[in-house]
Amino acid sequence: MARMELSSLAKRYGQVEVLREIDLTIEDGEFVVLVGPSGCGKSTLLRMIAGLEPISGGELRIDGRRVNETAPRDRDIAMVFQSYALYPHMDVARNMGFSLEIRGKPETERRPRVAAAASTLSLEPLLARLPKALSGGQRQRVAMGRAIVRQPRAFLFDEPLSNLDAALRVDMRLEIARLHKRLAATMIYVTHDQVEAMTLADRIVVLNGGDVQQVGSPLDLYDRPANRFVAQFIGSPTMNILPVTLDDRGLPRLANGAAVPLEGLAPEGVAGRIAEIGLRPEHLVPGAAEGALVSGTADLVEHLGSDTNVYVRTEDYGTLVLRVHGHHPVRSGDALHLHARPGAVHAFDRDGLALPRRSR
Amino acid sequence: MKIAITPDQLIFTEGTRLFPSETSFGNFAKVITQTDFLAYFGNSLIVSLGTAGVTTLIAAGAGYAFSRFDFAGKRVLVGIMLVTQMFPLLMVIAPIYKMVAALGMLNSLTSLIVVYTAFNIPFATFLMQSFFDGIPRDLEEAAMIDGCTRFQALRRIIVPLTLPGLGATLGFVFTAAWSELLFALMLINSNDAMTFPVGLLTFVSKFSVDWGQMMAAGVLALVPSCLFFIFIQRYLVQGLTSGAVKG
Ligand SMILES: Nc1ncnc2c1ncn2[C@@H]1O[C@H](COP(=O)(O)OP(=O)(O)OP(=O)(O)O)[C@@H](O)[C@H]1O
Ligand SMILES: [Mg+2]
């Protein structure tokens, strides 16, 4: 059980600032997911918390105690590596019990704890095998088991499922969710997978360019992104961004002269500041030519079964994506006129900051 | 091999037949009982094992440091080690002779071990470094998170996985030391301290090239190398790290 406080945490490699001034408090038992583009420092942050990477600035406290200089083994934190990092010369049971062995716990204590973890993860039949005789999914479970056996204060995961195939990934995602519920331990999880982030997280932390862009619950980030970066990063396919111009009354208009439907936005924030609007693919609907925000031709149509993604080529905004529920008869080359669902418009100012939305 | 088991009188008359018409192990017996062969053999064993042991130990330490740490002057050091590999031996042999002589260490096996070790370390270090490079860092880091100090991670995780590398390096250095002639010839004069290759040369002078004995001795000389490789070959089995990490 651990509460972690990161204050002004920074990481530099020589002149290169990878992370600067990260402020974040992770509550005891919370599941926090770190997301961000490749190279933004997610792994680095995780490794700093684990103690594998020296901290260049700021302070890291676990349960109120400063641990900046504490060795990894004294932090009582477990980590699951993307590569699993199983010890190749030890069988599964010994891999899982290694942390207890190294701490001098007797066989009589190790065995039941390994057995308990193995049964949670259905690893009992594999206990005597070497890692090289395991499938990728089994290795992944052993890596998880090794973390569980320790009963640590906190768990760190660095893209633990990214080497698994899609079906297995879903299984393990549910497994991790169950595990979190049962252990109620603090977990910090790095992923590139939108679904993992949205489904597992109590809170998501979006990192970019060495800074925290936004911290919030998954739906918070989805409904009220703080800026254009978060808006485009969360959600798949990504949010469409359309620049707008202000008419002589100060009202935003699209390229074809259509007025931007502003319900959903807090009126006081919009006036004069709006530079772009954002529309999620599922908030665009095809309709009549009259009153359409934008028109174009269907380019690519992706049938996912449950949904259909349509890529629409437009004259003024390049390619836009819309997503319609179920099957849709549209074909490549068809003309489409797009409307926005009421209240769904996001707006950004010239700096990409989100304009406030009406509270629901 | 064939000459070693051919009776003396037949060596020159039989020509190039694959198998001699008669075989005799007399040459082996003669070599072992009537010459200083056993003493040479023992000297070589001491020198080669000593060199292999010391070199591998140092190379393992240096190789680990090169593989895992970034330290000031690392590139310079690697550069120097590369350069030493380019010098022709003949150029350094005289200065080394003088140094050893000045230290009063001529005719000692220790001086041979020291010189061999010095010459083998650079390559052995590169060899060990590449073995360490092949072991993912994640493994040590996982061990340290699991509760190991860096030293414990090294001993419990890295060393067991490096056994093939240690074996290969030991074997390489052992063979190099076993067959080295030039320095042995320069630094050793007394019959007591002669290593095997030098001793073999004495067969040339003492017995006006007794081919039979020389070949018998040569065959015997292969024995330790063979035994040594049989001994370490179980550590040379590849694929020990497979399964550690995916892809
Ligand atoms: N030893 C180093 N020296 C200099 N820069 C480094 C070093 N290690 C990492 N970096 C830089 O730090 C940044 C963050 O790396 P990190 O691995 O944390 O990214 P990440 O967010 O985990 O990316 P990914 O999603 O691809 O795993 C990268 O831009 C990387 O180039
Ligand atoms: Mg990473």
For residue A131, give the nearest of B141, B244, B247 by CB distance.
B244
Indicate if ligand 1 lies below 6 Å from the C-beta of A210.
Answer: no
Question: With bands split at pLDDT 50, 70 and 90, how would you rate the model's confidence at B200?
Answer: confident
CB contact under 8 A, B138 and A78: no
Helix/strand/coil for A47:
helix
Model pLDDT for residues B107-165, shown as the tens digit of each residue:
788 888 888 898 889 989 988 998 899 899 999 999 999 999 999 999 999 999 988 88
Residue B142 sits in a domain whose CATH number is: 1.10.3720.10
CB < 8 Å to A91, chain B: none
Instruction: Give the distance (Å) from ligand 1 centre to CA of residue B103.
Output: 53
Contact (Cβ atoms closer than 8 angstroms) between residue B55 and residue B173: yes
CB < 8 Å to A145, chain B: none
Residues with a beta carbon under 5 angstroms from ion ligand 2: A 43
For residue A73, give the nearest of B148, B161, B240 by CB distance.
B148
Position B136 scores a pLDDT of 92
* DSSP-assigned states of every residue in A221-271: HHHS-SBHHHHHHSSSSPPEEEE-EE-TTS-EE-TTSPBP--TTB-HHHHT
Contact (Cβ atoms closer than 8 angstroms) between residue B165 and residue B127: yes
Task: Flag whether A272 is in a domain.
Answer: yes
Pair (A182, A97) in one structural domain: yes
Instruction: Give the distance (Å) from ligand 2 centre to CA of residue A185.
Output: 22
Task: Flag whether B81 is in a domain.
Answer: yes
As a whole number of angstroms, the distance between CA A319 and CA A308 comes to: 16
Region A165-181 average pLDDT: 92
Per residue, the 3-state secondary structure of chain B, as one string, reads CCHHHCCHHHCCCCCCCCCCCCCCCHHHHHHHHHCCHHHHHHHHHHHHHHHHHHHHHHHHHHHHHHHHCCCCCHHHHHHHHHHHCCCCHHHHHHHHHHHHHHCCCCCCHHHHHHHHHHHHHHHHHHHHHHHHHCCCHHHHHHHHHCCCCHHHHHHHHHHHHHHHHHHHHHHHHHHHHHCCCHHHHHHCCCHHHCCHHHHHHHHHHHCCCCHHHHHHHHHHHHHHHHHHHHHHHHHCCCCCCCCCCCC
What predicted TM-score, i.e. pTM, was given to this entire model?
0.83
CB < 8 Å to A130, chain B: 243
Task: Flag whether B133 is in a domain.
Answer: yes
Position B156 scores a pLDDT of 93
Instruction: Give the distance (Å) from ligand 1 centre to CA of residue A33.
Output: 18
Model pLDDT for residues A212-260, shown as the tens digit of each residue:
999 999 999 999 999 999 999 999 899 999 999 988 887 889 988 888 8
Pair (A31, A97) in one structural domain: yes
When divided into structural domains, chain B yields a total of: 1
Contact (Cβ atoms closer than 8 angstroms) between residue A86 and residue B244: yes
Pair (A40, A113) in one structural domain: yes
Residue A47 sits in a domain whose CATH number is: 3.40.50.300
Contact (Cβ atoms closer than 8 angstroms) between residue A23 and residue A35: no
CB < 8 Å to B243, chain A: 86, 88, 130-134, 139
Ligand in closest contact with the CA of A44? 1
Longest dimension (CA), chain B: 73
When divided into structural domains, chain A yields a total of: 2
CB contact under 8 A, B145 and A72: yes
- A158: which strand partners? A190
- A254: which strand partners? none
Position A138 scores a pLDDT of 93
CB contact under 8 A, B138 and A163: no
Model pLDDT for residues A290-308, shown as the tens digit of each residue:
889 999 999 999 999 999 9
pLDDT at A194 over 60: yes
Helix/strand/coil for A197:
helix
Position B6 scores a pLDDT of 64
CB contact under 8 A, A85 and B138: yes
Query: How many C-beta neighbours within 10 Å does residue A339 have?
Result: 19
* H-helix segments, chain A: 42-50, 92-102, 107-120, 136-149, 166-183, 194-200, 218-223, 228-233, 267-270
Q: Which domain holds residue A309?
A: 238-348
Token duo for residue B195? 């290593």
Contact (Cβ atoms closer than 8 angstroms) between residue A345 and residue A279: yes
Model pLDDT for residues B73-114, shown as the tens digit of each residue:
888 888 888 887 777 777 778 888 888 888 877 778 888 888
Percent of chain A clearing pLDDT 90 (strictly above): 84
Q: Which domain holds residue B157?
A: 24-236
Q: Which residue has the tokens 């970034």?
A: B70
Task: Flag whether B6 is in a domain.
Answer: no
Distance in angstroms between the alpha carbons of the first and the last residue of chain B: 48
To test the contact with chain A by mutation, choose from B70, B135, B145, B161 the residue with the greatest count of A C-beta atoms within 10 A, namely B145
CB < 8 Å to A87, chain B: 139, 142-143, 157, 244
Pair (A244, A280) in one structural domain: yes
Pair (A217, A251) in one structural domain: no
Pair (A216, A259) in one structural domain: no
Region B2-31 average pLDDT: 65
CB contact under 8 A, A83 and B141: no
Task: Flag whether A286 is in a domain.
Answer: yes
Instruction: Give the distance (Å) from ligand 2 centre to CA of residue B32.
Output: 65
CB contact under 8 A, B146 and A139: no
For residue A97, the number of C-alpha atoms closer than 13 Å in the C-beta half-sphere is 22
Contact (Cβ atoms closer than 8 angstroms) between residue A72 and residue B152: no
Task: Flag whether A295 is in a domain.
Answer: yes
Q: Which residue has the tokens 């299984």?
A: A171
Helix/strand/coil for A162:
coil
A176 secondary structure, DSSP code: H
| ipTM of predicted assembly, 2 dp | 0.86
Instruction: Give the distance (Å) from ligand 1 centre to CA of residue A44.
Output: 6
Task: Flag whether B13 is in a domain.
Answer: no
Question: With bands split at pLDDT 50, 70 and 90, how would you rate the model's confidence at B193?
Answer: confident
Region B181-186 average pLDDT: 78
Indicate if ligand 1 lies below 6 Å from the C-beta of A359.
Answer: no
